[in-house]
Structure 1
């Protein structure tokens, strides 16, 4: 039996739709368009689908360690729609930000807002004043409906908190969610992420850690689903230009389309849109980016106390989080250390970053943790991993021109550059395809 559409109801008119880009936004747009009765051709210039969230060519490791949270409802719905059961490919855990010494913030199962308060009150290593200060700030943010002036940074928002609370909780959460240091990160976007996690209902703040390579979570199942529905996938094909006919139709690689979703990276979208919509292209070109580095390490026989542990970064310690792939994906002795906001470290070079992470793990974990000293297996850098999510950032709108829509985690929206942001943008673009044609 066919899977239900992501949103009930087919389009009033069946369109020929071109989707340029096969990352999570492009795949979401293609699936939604097909579900609404459109005929879809997808173009992807890389040899593999998935964009910045895919498996490496070896099919074992990913091009970066990603996590989802329970609030990513559109992403989870999309996975189910193409035949993936999230419960089988993701390990769901209550949010726990635990350091190698066993201290940290642990949210028990239940409504996130209530469990957050319980976890803060029981947090070891903080004074009573620090704990109450964080709870008071959280209540103020809730009273503000998780809104603040658009020009505030996260550092400005959290200035009343103690330096220890900021260093041990706010800064790691900020760089993990926005991939931008708190001094330069948008407080408005940060509060939106907190709002959806804390007020999104039971399970919204849960961590969803991949058990399988990223390509198996969505790109490969979505591609199979699209082919079964009659869509055409042209992988390894870089679109050279877009053009518009006098009657409003679009030309992509010599093929005519009623509408096009431009779901390529912001840089590619800028190149393609510039002759057609220079103002939109200028806005997209103005975005600045933050890198993420993932360091894969091996230590045979070692198993961590938690599948994910929080680390304290510094000028000599790059990583903020460490993942145990033995507990997650059946690769004992394999670990992934994540360096977000990694520009200072990419400037030092990837070999130096990998060695600094190795020394960080040896230094920060209790004696006896490592059965064998960890050795660096591979260092992967995504140099334009996310846009820099800064205060008052003007992101380009989804509509580029009549019948031409942008989809990507960088277009205007409430979220930072996340998988959920990409999927939401793709679905929204597909649902808007008919608007200028009515």
Structure 2
């Protein structure tokens, strides 16, 4: 069987100067000055300016140019020419142009200002714009860097259930009937299963969608988001934070190395990202509360820290910071009691600079069977749903730690974009399930 030849991609054209090429893509702009016409196209790998000179092309090609409208698809053939002024440093001298898929004149997103709600209603088109393309390229780079980081360090990628009977956090749950088994819940975290996998493989990570039915409309919340959750056998809370700061430093440096054009498109101040290198400051919760009170916050010891408190804490730092050892009542049931202060647990939140807030929550896990059982009962959680989780402490318990990094919050910080909704292809918000 004869294979169809794949069209040349715009990104490869700088290596084809002086040669003939055929490129397929979509129209972003057209203009004409009588006998010379210009078409700017994109194909997902780059932007290309095409020059159509009427006396040098057939009548059919010139007529095809006249039919081009915003976002129609077409193919174009011609000679690749070097031009330092053109996007990517090359342009195409057109010899043939063919319309593939017409686009109606009322294409929703025009070259003008649109409101955010309108853009979200048309997210399937908004994704085609240069800013959104840049954010998605950085998202892709971060996702690949995540896998590279853990693979190079001997972690096993594992997948945990999305439907579960056991919950990990206090926030809202999405419930669904599960045959004759009662309610199942969309996973808030893969962590509990990750702990079981760490007992089998030593070092694991999960990477998947998680769901929180929180009625929140802040710029930092989605109801569906992606989370990366490593779990490491025999790591204590200090080793856990070491891993976190190495991980985040790696992700930032990777984007700086490979996605500078995307950062430039976003007008990101990269000098701020260049300062993100381990180690990061580690601040005890009690000290953090004292600092906040001096800065005018009304927060009291025992309360969780809100977004405004987090912004106050990071304003004096150029790197992320850790807030460690929160009060037991403010955190999840599975966190290890702090032997130095039983009112608190061995945990940490990593706060990103520039006011982006928490991007990681981590902890050493409670490995004492009786203490974990007591905490489950305190939280009025169903024992039958956690029997297998308690078994991990009954048969060969071990010190272990892990954390969860919110992918979209991390992308928002690295991109410098103010709202998390732009950091996932199709955001799910409290009031949005379309498209």
TM-score class normalised by the smaller sequence: under 0.3
Bigger strand fraction: 2
Larger RCO: 1 or 2 (CA < 8 Å, sep 6+): 1
TM-score where L is the length of structure 1: 0.25
Q: Specify the structure having the higher radius of gyration (Cα).
A: 2
